[in-house]
Structure 1
C-alpha cells in the first residue's frame, strides 16, 4: 500500500493519529524534564487541503472536516492544533491547511524540549524545511530506519519516536519489526509510536504475531476500523502501536477514543476503535 502523506492529509487516520499524539506528548510533559521528539517519516510538515493531491482523494471530508463539525470538547485540543496553522486564512468551508506531525509536535515544544525530523523523499524534504522555518527543529534527509537507531538513546532522559512510513516498500513491516527490536536493546524505556494502515484483519493479525515475539512488556495497540466488515482491497482504517505509553495517557484514552469513533464513523457504519495490550 502506497500511503504518501500529501494524498491523505486530514483524513480519518490523521485525525486519530494526531489527536492521540497530542494527548501522548502532553502526558509525557506532565513531568518537567526535557523530552526529545523524533519523527522518522516526517513528510512535508504542512498540507494544502485545496491542493491537487488532497483534492484528488477528497479524504479530508471524512476526516478533519468531520472533527470540526463535531462539538465534543474532547476533540478540542486536536481542533486547536489545526486552527493554529489556519490563522489568517479563509475557513468558511473548514480549514484550508493541515498540519502534519512535525508542525503539531512543534506546537507542543517547551523550551527544554528537542525536535528531530527526518524525510528521505527529496521533494518532501524540501517542503518540510520550508514548513519548519522559524521553528527550533533539526531536519534530516536520511534513511528512516538508520536514523531511528542512530538517534537512540536520546540525549534527554526521556523521548518519543514517531514512525509513520508510507508503506511503499514490500519489506516495510519487516524493517519495522527488525528496527524496533534493535531500538529496544538500545533504549528499552523509550516511547515509540508506529502508525499503520489497515486493509485485512487476517494479514494484520500475522504482523501482530511477529511483534508479539519481540517480548515487549508494554505494547499498546489502538485500532480504528471504519467499516463494520472488511471492505476488500480498500483502506479500512488505521492504527497505532505505542510502546511504553505513560500511565496518564492510558488512563484518559477510553473517552477520547469513543469521541473519535463517533465523529469519524462513515454513513451506515458504527465504526470500531479499540485499545488493548499486545500481550493480552
Structure 2
C-alpha cells in the first residue's frame, strides 16, 4: 500500500492520529521534565487541501471537515491546532491548509522540549524545511529506521518517537518490527507511536501476532475501522501502536475515541474505534 502523506492530508486517519498525538504529548507534559519529540517520517509538514494531490483524492471531506462540522468539545484541541496554521485564511468553507505531524508537535513544544524531524524524500525534505522555519525543529534527511535507532535514548529524560511511513515497501512492517525490538532494548521506558493503515483484518492480525511476540509489557493498539464490514481491496481505516502510553492518556481515551468515531462514521456505517492492550 502506498500512503504518501500529501495525497491523504486531513483524512479520517489524520484526525485520529493527530488528536491522539495531542492528547499523548499533553499527558506527558503533566510532568515538567523535558521531552524530545522525534518524527521519523515527517513528510512535508504542511499541506494545501486545495492542491493537486490532496484535491485528487478529496479525503479531507471525510476527515478534517467532518471534525470541524462536529460540535463535540473533546475535538476542540484538534480543531484549534488546525486553525492555528490557517491564521488569516477564510475558514468559511473549512480549513484550506492542513498541518502534518511536525506542525502539530511544534505547537505543543514547551521551552524545555526538543523537536527532531526526519524526511528522506528529497523534495519533501526541502518543503519540510520551509514549512518549519521559525520553529526550533531540527530537520534531518536520513533513513528513518537508522535515525530511529540512533536517536534513542534521547538526551532529555523522556521522549516520544513517531513512526508514520507510507508503507510503499513490501518489507515495511518487518523493518518496523525489527527496529522496534532493537529500540526497545536500548530504551525500554520510551514512548513510541507507530501509525499503520488497515486494509484486511487477517493480514493485520498476523502483524499484531508478530509484535505481540516481542514481549513489550505496555503495548497499546488503537484501531479505527471505518466500515461495519471489510471493504475488500480498499483502505478500511487506520490505527496506532503505542508503546508505554502514560496513565493520564489511557484514562482519557474512551470518551475521545467515541467522539472521533461519531464524527467520522461514514454514512450508513457506525464504524469502530477501539483500544486494546497487546501485552501486559
Residue 255 of structure 1 aligns with which residue?
255
The yes-or-no answer on 1:24 pairing with 2:24 is yes
- Unaligned runs of at least 5 residues, structure 2: none
| CA deviation vs aligned residue, 1:90-135 (integer Å, no higher than 9, x gap) | 1111000000000000000000000000000011100000000000
> In the TM superposition, what are the counterparts of 1:1-280 in structure 2 within 5 Å?
1-279=1-279
Deviations 1:5-30 (A, max 9, x none): 00000000000000000000000000
CA distance in 1, matches of 2:238, 2:246: 22
Distance 1:181 1:91 in 2: 44
In 2, the alpha carbon distance for the partners of 1:137 and 1:59 equals 28
What is the number of equivalent residue pairs in this alignment? 280
* Root mean square deviation, CA, Å: 0.6
SS in 1 for 2:24: helix
Deviations 1:223-278 (A, max 9, x none): 00000000001000000000000000000000000000000000000000000101
SS at match of 1:175: helix
Give 1:279 deviation, angstroms: 2.7
Mapped to 2, the partners of 1:123 and 1:60 lie a distance apart of 23
- Structure 1 stretches of 4+ with a deviation exceeding 2 A read none
In 1: Cα distance, 2:217 partner to 2:22 partner: 23
Aligned mates of 1:91, 1:83 — CA distance in 2: 8
CA distance in 1, matches of 2:105, 2:270: 31
Cα distance in 1 for residues equivalent to 2:16 and 2:279? 23
Q: TM-score, normalised by structure 1?
A: 1.00
TM-score (norm 2): 1.00
* Distance in 1 between residues matched to 2:243 and 2:17, nearest whole Å: 15
Q: SS where residue 278 of structure 1 aligns?
A: strand
For residues 91 and 208 of structure 1, the distance between their equivalents in structure 2, rounded to whole angstroms, comes to 40
